Amino acid sequence: MTPGPTQVRENVRLARAIETTNPDLDLQFYDFYRDTCDRIGQLLKTKNHVRILSGEGILGLEAACASLTEPGDRVLVIDNGIFGEGFADFVKIYGGQVVFFKGDRRRQIDVDELEKFVESQGNFKYATVVHCDTPSGVLNDISRICPMLKSKGIMTVVDSVSAIGGEELKVDEWSIDIALGGSQKCLSAPPGLTFLSISHDAYNAMENRKTPIASFYCNLLLWKDYYEKKWFPYTPPASDIIGLRQAVDNVLEDGDILSRHKRIAEALRKAVREAGLSLYIKDGFSNTVTAIEVPEGIDESALRKDMLERFNVMIAGSFGYLAGKVLRIGHMGENARVDYVSYTLFALQKSLESFGFKCRCDMAKTFMDLIDRNQRLDK
């Protein structure tokens, strides 16, 4: 029950086992790759090109920055969490000049403040923003941030690795130039793949560079005409892509997926608070992951070890400035299930109590009662 990698459904595991050919030479594989990209486009609500690259989510972040950044470019890095801040490293590696907009790390980015900041700071080539910053679980309102920046001529790169599939994402309507995700979070395929949607403006910026893109593996332009040329820059990991395709189909076929994430996350947050625990985030809660403050005097890694050993439930701690301070329950993708989450709350409560923390309610029961009530209200 961690915020990714998540559990992988049997049909995805089986898809990864089917026989493959040489994907560089098999023309059918070019069609399969293209159709898989189109289905990811459906998920992202975009007509832009989508490309799947052979590397974990981080490759998507680096490829976007490598392809867009030229030495000296001013890049706005929107930071209210660890991944938000981390974008700056990729921008700098490729010679960009980073300007931070720092938000409150317990709240979503204040879009009006951001707009004022941008107006006072002048031109940026593009901005980076994280949809759900997973170490804290803060969700940024990219439905407002990206169109606002676009109206000022600033392209946006959105890291939606831990949100795509669990939160709404409308790439075209929200004018997102590059949106990227990973296989192992809400899509619930194993780690190993990243995918990106690339707008016309983003391609234009890449094609009109004065300096070449300083990478081969991270060069998105090399992928632009792969289908017409029947050429992949490197051999695609066929089995990983076949598995991802099944995982994407699972998500597309699931008409209830976003509302289920919402129902589960809301009931979980409420149950946790009623038990007397505190949530780390004050506003902008992601429906994919929840960070709970570790009660005074409890060693979070010992608590997690106890949950794993006695109940076979694995939740996560966090890292960076949050290390040791929060516990995180991932309720995304295949893990967004009422039975899993209620058992997780049961185990969390038992472990907390054995470490001396008294919960003010039965968390699993409170959670189930809320789910039950909301399901009836939905009908």
Ligand X SMILES: *Cc1c(COP(=O)(O)O)cnc(C)c1O
Is 57 a binding residue for ligand X by CB under 6 A? The answer is: yes
Q: How far is CA 27 from CA 40, 50, 65, 79, in A?
A: 20, 19, 31, 43
Is 141 a binding residue for ligand X by CB under 6 A? The answer is: no
Is 162 a binding residue for ligand X by CB under 6 A? The answer is: yes
Q: Is 328 annotated as a binding residue?
A: yes
Binding range to ligand X, per CB under 6 A, among 31-39, 53-61, 87-95, 326-334: 53-61
Report which of 364, 372, 371, 327 is spatially closest to residue 342, judged by C-alpha positions: 364
The DSSP bridge partners found for residue 328 are 291, 316
Of 98 and 370, nearer to ligand X (C-beta) is 98
Q: At 317, is the secondary structure helix, strand, or coil?
A: coil
Helix axes 57-68, 200-207, angle to 10 degrees: 60
Nearest position to ligand X, beta carbon: 57
Is 83 a binding residue for ligand X by CB under 6 A? The answer is: yes
Considering only residues 137, 182, 243, 317, which one is a binding residue for ligand X as defined by CB under 6 A?
A: 182
CA dist 42 and 170 (Å) reads 10
Q: Whole-angstrom distance between the N-terminal and C-terminal Cα of the chain?
A: 28
Cis amide prior to 5 (ω within 30 degrees): yes
CA dist 307 and 297 (Å) reads 17
Is 140 a binding residue for ligand X by CB under 6 A? The answer is: no
Is 54 a binding residue for ligand X by CB under 6 A? The answer is: no
Buried b (16+ CB within 10 A) or exposed e, 307-330: beeeeebebbbbeeebeeebbbbb
Binding range to ligand X, per CB under 6 A, among 71-79, 97-105, 158-166, 310-318: 158-166
Do β-strands 97-102 and 289-293 pair in parallel, antiparallel, or remain unpaired?
A: unpaired
Least separation, in Å, of the C-beta of 359 and ligand X? 29
Considering only residues 159, 300, 306, 334, which one is a binding residue for ligand X as defined by CB under 6 A?
A: 159
Of 130 and 222, nearer to ligand X (C-beta) is 130
- Residues 1 to 20: which contact ligand X by CB under 6 A? 4
Considering only residues 130, 198, 213, 307, which one is a binding residue for ligand X as defined by CB under 6 A?
A: 130
Q: How many residues bind ligand X (CB under 6 A)?
A: 12
Is 58 a binding residue for ligand X by CB under 6 A? The answer is: yes
Is 56 a binding residue for ligand X by CB under 6 A? The answer is: yes
DSSP 160-183: -TTTBTTB---TTTTT-SEEEEET
Q: Are 152 and 123 in contact (CB under 8 A)?
A: no
Binding range to ligand X, per CB under 6 A, among 29-37, 51-59, 245-253, 271-279: 51-59
Least separation, in Å, of the C-beta of 220 and ligand X? 17
Is 333 a binding residue for ligand X by CB under 6 A? The answer is: no
Binding-site positions for substrate read 328
Residues forming contacts to ligand X in the complex (CB under 6 A) are: 4, 56-58, 83, 130, 134, 159, 161-162, 182, 185
